[in-house]
Each structure stands twice: as C-alpha cells, then as structure tokens.
Homo-oligomer: A and B are copies of this chain.
Amino acid sequence: MTKQYDVVILGGGVAGGSLAHSLRRQHKTVAVVEDNLFGGTCPNRGCDPKKILMSGLEVTQVVSDMQGNGITGSVSVNWPDLMRHKRQYTNPISDATRNGLISDGVDTYHEHAHFNSDGLLDAGNQILAGKQYVIATGQRPAILAIPGSQFFKTSTDFLNLDNLPKDVTFVGGGYIGFELAGIARAAGATVHLVHHNNRPLKQFDQQLVYEEIKRLSKLGVDFHLNTDVEKITQVGEQFVLSGEKFRLPTDMVFCTAGRIPNVDTLGLENVGVKVDQHGVIVDDHLKTSNPNIFAMGDVVSTKRPKLTPVAGFEAGYLASYFNGATDPIQFKAIPTIVFGQPSLGQVGLPSSVATDDSRYMLITNDMTKWYSYHRLNEPLAKAKVVIDRDAETVVGATVLSNHADYLINILTMMIDQQMKIGDFNQQILAYPTVASDVQYLI
C-alpha cells in the first residue's frame, strides 16, 4: 500500500522534526520516518545529555577553584546519580517528540526507510510516496577499522553508562573526545586521550588548543599525541590498545574519531542522489542531484560545522523554500564550542587571517587576572579577537574560559549585525558581567 504525502522526511531529529512542524503550518501533508529515537542525536545522545553530564565537571571545578578562597569542603561526582539526572531529561524525549509530531498532524513511522527501485520509499510494510523528499538522517560515530574494533564503545554508550569504569580511553581528539574526557576525569576516572597527530581540535586556534591541553593535563587527563592505535585486544577484563612503541591497558575504550553520515542504507543509488564521504551532496538550495530530493542537517556534505543550530537553520531555510522562497541559503556566523572547564569557543574568521591579510588586526588578551575571572579564581581565560580595520567591526574570535560561550555569543551577534566597535561601546551592558568586559577585548 502506498501513502501519498507532499513531503516525506527521512529522519526525525532536530532538522526533520522542525521542518515537519513548519510544513504543517503551511498545511502540507508530511511524513517523518525515523529508525532510532525521535528527536535524533542532539537531545538523546548528543549536545543535551553531554552538557547535563558536564554539570559534574562544572560544579566540582568551581568548588576546587574556590577552595581556600572562601569555600571550605569538597564535593565529588556520583556517576549513577548524575546519569539518573540525565535520564530524567532524556528518557521522555523520543516519545514526547513523536507525540508532538502526531498531534500536529504529521504521520510518523518508526522504521528504517530506503528508496526502492521504483524511486519510492520503503518504510517497513508501507510504501511512502512524496512529491518531495528530504534526507535528514544525520550521522553516527565513526569506528576505526582496526583489529579489535568490536571492542570500541561510542559517545552514545558513554552518555548512557550505568557505571563509569576506573580507567577509560578516548581514541580521537576532536571536540567529542575532549568533552567526554573532561566529564570522565571530573567524575574520578583515570582518562587517556589518544590522537593520531599533534593537532587535535585542528579547526580551532592551535595556541589556545595547546593551553586547553595543558590545562586538561594538569587536571589529570593523560594525552597521547602522535599515536596511532593499531589494534585492540582483550586481556582479562581489560582492553589493551597497542601500536608502534605504544601499549595502553584500559577498562573501556571509546572511539571518538569523528562521525560519518547515515547514507549507506538509504537506497540513494535508486534515486540518483550523489554522496561523498562527508554526506549527501547538495546545491545552495539544499537540493541533491535528484531535483525532488533535498538534504539538510548533519547528513549533508559540507565544510560547515555540523551542529544543532545549523541543522535548525537549514530546516528553516527549507520550510521557506517549500513555501515559495527562492533565494539560496546564506549562513550567518557559526559559533562552535568545545564545552569544558575551560570551554573553547570560536566564531567567524580564524586568528590566522590577521597574519595573512593586513586588512585584519588580531587582538590577543590574557584575561586570567581580569575581574570576571579573578572573582571565581578561574585558572585560565584568554581571548583572541580579529578586527576588520577599515570597517571597525569584529569578524572573528576565539575564547578560552569557563564562560567562553557567553563571550562568543555576544561576539557572534556583533559579527552578524556588523556592529561598529564604537556603536557596541555606546551600549550599556549589565555590570560586572562577562559581557561588560567585551569593551576591553576590542
């Protein structure tokens, strides 16, 4: 039996769900097919649970910073309690998300879907036919193809661990590896982070990455840079990672070496949708090589950071497009944060642009002794801001501090609004706050 829809969306994550609701407001008929949890990665096994678990790091760290400076006593992370606190938030997400779609008139299918040779979508016992289709199936953790790879756990497993082992290892120094390492260390584990070269977090300012690594090392994270893990073997209840001149026994090993797009079982070859290793190839209207099929969110092949608000923005774009708008998609500045204590945030043009182009000026500030950081005795706070000399605007920034997201969001607004620095300084912001410091940064 074939069911007809205006739009069929593959994937019920942030992008898919958001687009479905928007299309219902346009009175279109919509189906959403999801083979895993409705809500997708972000609220179930991504940003949201991660930052709930990170509350353990935040609280223990702020206490530790202030011990002897006004705070007496000590605290520790109780992992099972923290996991329960996380599950209170995450457990209801999938049903609530699906019910929200249903009550908005969206047909939902909890099935794995693929395009069949007729170009229609097989979803379990149903055939779904859309005037248009949108692929929003996201990504999943990549697993290094080495002997013993079956012993790898993923970030999804980490974010749902009933108990945290005494010794854990993360293989891959991207933002997920850094964030989970911080969480695990704060919760009392011995933590190793293995990275194949000496440029972890390669898309971030490397000076500040180096500071972050120094800080995490001081807190006890054991970094193994320039280290290739060639195999994993099970020895008793432990796993041994090994490579050239490298041997590391550990209780649990997580592969945090990036994520790969969920494209391989969608039957895209049946509908002529082209992909590369980064995902579905789209044009500047998010249209794939099949004019009736679009793609958005993490599954898209793009150099943009694959982030929740980017997925949401793309869903908003497609909602407008399906409603008749014709402009190509255009992105505002996209801030990215490696959450931790400190967090590392970046937005806009990288610091290096100022070296290459005299139009830009780089202002570097060590804020560690500034009031906002002294106040809570924070050990490390630095910022780099890139200024367009002629336009007198901020065009990029990297911030390393416990409050990096606060500063980065303010600076993102300055970039997006192309605010003259002089105009920013005419504003009166609440004092003393992280935001009221911005005038001293620029």
Contacts and interface: CB of A to CB of B under 8 A. Distances in A.
Identical chains bound together, number: 2
Contacts of A376: 55, 58-59
A70 B81 CA distance: 4
A406 B429 CA distance: 10
A380 interface: no
A436 B377 contact: no
A143 interface: no
Interface stretch (A5-13, A194-202, A332-340): A332-340
A122 B14 CA distance: 69
Most buried by B among A56, A66, A332, A335: A66
Nearest to A305: B428
A85 to B, nearest CB: 4
Given A71-B77, A72-B78, A428 B60 contact: no
A402 interface: no
Interface in A376-428: 376-377, 405-406, 408-410, 412-413, 416-417, 419, 425-428
A430 interface: yes
Contact of A377 (B74, B85, B426, B432): B85
Given A66-B55, A75-B75, A430 B412 contact: yes
Contacts of A408: 430
Interface of A: 42, 47-48, 51-53, 55-56, 58-60, 62-63, 66, 68-79, 81-85, 88-89, 307-310, 313, 316, 331-337, 345, 347, 371, 374-377, 405-406, 408-410, 412-413, 416-417, 419, 425-436
